DNA sequence: GCAAAGATCCAG
DNA sequence: TGGATCTTTGCT
């Protein structure tokens, strides 16, 4: 499900404004089969939304400082999710700049924590239904070229090629991949 | 109850 | 390269 999200458009409605961006980077976390997944050791209070129905958000705090947002992609009871890691900003870049306290567009959403800050996503969005009003995934590029690489920031299961990036994008969290 | 690690970001 | 910052988890 992670590669399918690349090239789609993430839309966030905030105070009547529309913020959106093209999803250019995402990572898959394969639930109980994946030592790097928060769900590997079973359900806990923090990760319970990952075990819920698909199409909902799993948001958690990272390193005590940032928030990271995942799309749940498996049926209820399983816990496969896709971490949204980077967007190419499209609509609402002025609002994103304000929320990020930063001018440079390339850096507004180029990382999971940055993306959440730019879109105003926090723990209150844990469990949010992506078919609702606040946060939605829309169609984007017709046939994006997607490249698979290894995931970032892990101490285990580093060999699995479950990070997906839009080929040639300058808006990823690391350098351009072709 | 406590200790350790963590799907990060930014400054120096 | 290291510090900030703090929650979650697992073990004693």
> For A1-17, what is the HEC assignment?
CHHHHCCCEEEEEECCE
Give me the CATH topology for the region A2-133+141-166. 3-methyladenine DNA Glycosylase; Chain A (3.10.300)
**How far, in Å, is the CA of A7 from the C1' of nucleotide B5?**
33
- Residue A81 CB closer than 7 angstroms to strand B? yes
In whole angstroms, B7 C1' to A91 CA is 26
A45 CA – C9 C1', rounded, Å:
11
Q: What is the mean pLDDT of chain A?
A: 97
Q: How high is the pLDDT of residue A1?
A: 80
- Where does the pLDDT of residue A156 fall: very low under 50, low under 70, confident under 90, or very high at 90 and above? very high
**CB of A155 within 7 Å of some strand B atom:** yes
Mean per-residue pLDDT, A149-176: 96
Query: pLDDT tens digit string along A126-155?
Result: 999 999 999 999 999 999 999 999 999 999
pLDDT band, very low/low/confident/very high, at A3 (cuts 50, 70, 90): confident
Report the length, in residues, of chain A.
178
Query: Burial level of A1, CB count in 10 A (0-12/13-18/19+)?
Result: middle
């Amino acid at each position: 499900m992670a590669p399918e999200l690349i090239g789609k458009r993430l839309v966030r409605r905030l105070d009547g404004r529309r913020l959106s961006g093209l999803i250019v980077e995402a990572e898959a976390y394969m639930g109980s089969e994946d030592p790097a997944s928060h769900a590997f050791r079973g359900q806990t209070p923090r990760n319970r939304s990952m075990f819920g129905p698909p199409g909902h958000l799993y948001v958690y705090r990272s390193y005590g400082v940032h928030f990271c947002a995942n799309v749940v992609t498996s049926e209820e009871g399983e816990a496969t999710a896709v971490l949204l890691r980077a967007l190419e900003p499209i609509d609402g870049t002025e609002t994103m700049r304000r929320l990020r306290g930063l001018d440079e567009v390339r850096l507004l959403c180029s990382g999971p924590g940055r993306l959440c800050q730019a879109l105003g996503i926090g723990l209150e969005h844990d469990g949010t239904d992506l078919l609702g009003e606040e946060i939605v995934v829309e169609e984007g590029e017709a046939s994006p070229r997607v490249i698979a690489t290894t995931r970032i920031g892990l101490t285990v299961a580093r060999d699995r090629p479950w990070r997906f990036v839009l080929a040639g994008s300058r808006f990823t969290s690391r350098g351009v991949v072709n």
